[in-house]
Amino acid sequence: MNRFNGQTAIVTGAARGIGRAIAERLASEGATVALADINEAGVQAAADEIGGASFAVATDIAEPESVTALHSAVIDKTGQLDVLVNAAAIVPFVPWDDLTFEEWRRVMRVNLDGIYLMCRAASDLMRPRKYGRIVNIASNSIFDGTPNMAHYVASKGGVLTFSRSLATELGGDKITVNSVCPGLTDTEGVQESPHKDAFEFVDMLQAIKGTGTPADIVPAVAFLASEEAHWITGQALAVDAGMIRH
Ligand code: NAD
Ligand code: 4PL
């Protein structure tokens, strides 16, 4: 399939994990992808590997100037923006007893302020063209309140409800906004944290058995980012082997 021929996409969190896999798919289907990540070396390596016209932009999604610079770079290089996928986030493992206000703010700043800043800048570019696809990566943890990450769960609940509202705001300009809610997924980030020990537990809850990988999340994101998903907006899609059925 070549669903993104002639299109430009921004994917945040594209240095590794789910974001990187999404960037690879959109590029393989014809998009020029701006890979945005705070990990400068990692995102450059990812862009080099993808090749073609895709390019890396070192970006902190929580810094307004950095987000503005990213969108300027996209316009300078390609002149348009069709797709935004917000996959960058902090995925913490912090029990309630250790959850300080500082830690709460650290996560909110990236996971929620960052989504606002990215959607603000991207929608301003999309609206005059009367086309756009925004896919925000939330998490299935918001449906059952996964432990050891209350601030993260709160931030991702905000991502879902914000996406719903933004869908209403932007529908008049034919821009769709949806969220995808992955279950526990085997990524570099998870492997670096105690979340890696939870795979057996979530397997027990899944309708379909096995370990989720970024490749399992990508197809849902690519579909919602494609032109043909034009009649779907304000939705949240759990992609988690049926762990959550809401
Ligand atoms: P990861 O930690 O492997 O990768 C996240 C990327 O985001 C990293 O490259 C990191 O540098 C980047 N990032 C962090 N802060 C940033 C900032 N301020 N600006 C720009 N980039 C920043 O994560 P992952 O496991 O691939 O998760 C990707 C997305 O999927 C996240 O939104 C996460 O919340 C969500 N998710 C993950 C899981 C899971 O189990 N892995 C489950 C549900 C949802
Ligand atoms: C079920 O989004 O959804 C662990 C870590 N377990 O980040 C998540 C579940 C994690 C999740 C998540």
Q: Average pLDDT, stretch 103-132?
A: 98
Ligand 2 atom having least distance to the Cα of 243:
1
At residue 27, the pLDDT reads: 98
When pLDDT is cut at 50, 70 and 90, the band that residue 244 belongs to is very high
| Domain limits, the chain | 8-238
182 lines ligand 1 (CB under 6 A): yes
The pLDDT tens digits of the residues spanning 184-236 come to 999 999 999 999 999 999 999 999 999 999 999 999 999 999 999 999 999 99
pTM over 0.85: yes
Question: In whole numbers, what is the pLDDT of the chain averaged over residues?
Answer: 98
Question: Is pLDDT above 90 for 41?
Answer: yes
Ligand 1 pocket test target in 185, 196, 213 with most atoms within 8 Å of CB: 185
pLDDT of residue 233: 99
Q: Is the pLDDT at 238 greater than 90, yes or no?
A: yes
Sheet harboring 8-12: ordered strands across?
55-58, 32-37, 8-12, 83-86, 132-137, 175-182, 236-239
- pLDDT level of residue 93 (50, 70, 90 thresholds): very high
What phi and psi values does residue 3 have, to the nearest 5 degrees?
-70, -15
Predicted confidence (pLDDT) at residue 90 exceeds the cutoff of 90? yes
At residue 214, the pLDDT reads: 99
Could you tell me the distance, in angstroms and rounded to a whole number, from the CA of residue 206 to the centre of ligand 1?
Answer: 22
pLDDT of 246 reads: 84
- Which residue lies with its CA nearest to atom 36 of ligand 1? 139
Average the pLDDT over 98-108 and give the result. Answer: 98
- Give the closest ligand to the alpha carbon of residue 143: 2
**For the chain, how big is the Rg over CA atoms in Å?**
17
Would the CB of 205 count as within 6 Å of ligand 2? Answer: no
CATH number of 8-238: 3.40.50.720
Q: What is the DSSP string of 154-206?
A: HHHHHHHHHHHHHHHHHGGGTEEEEEEEE-SB--HHHHTSGGGGGHHHHHHH-
Q: What's the gap in Å between 204 CA and the centre of ligand 2?
A: 14
Task: State what percent of residues in the chain have pLDDT above 70.
Answer: 100
- The pLDDT score that the predictor gives to residue 94 is 98
- How far apart CA 117 and CA 179 sit, in angstroms, is 16
Residue in 107, 110, 137, 139 to alter for ligand 2 test, most ligand atoms within 8 A of Cβ: 139
Distance 20 CA to ligand 1 centre (A): 10
Calculate mean pLDDT across residues 118-129.
Answer: 98
| Nearest C-alpha neighbor of 37 from the set 74, 64, 62 | 62
pLDDT given at position 9: 99
Positions marked catalytic: 152
Q: What's the confidence (pLDDT) of residue 4? A: 99
Q: What distance in angstroms lies between residue 163's CA and the mean position of ligand 2's atoms?
A: 19
In this structure, the residue with its CA closest to atom 41 of ligand 1 is 185
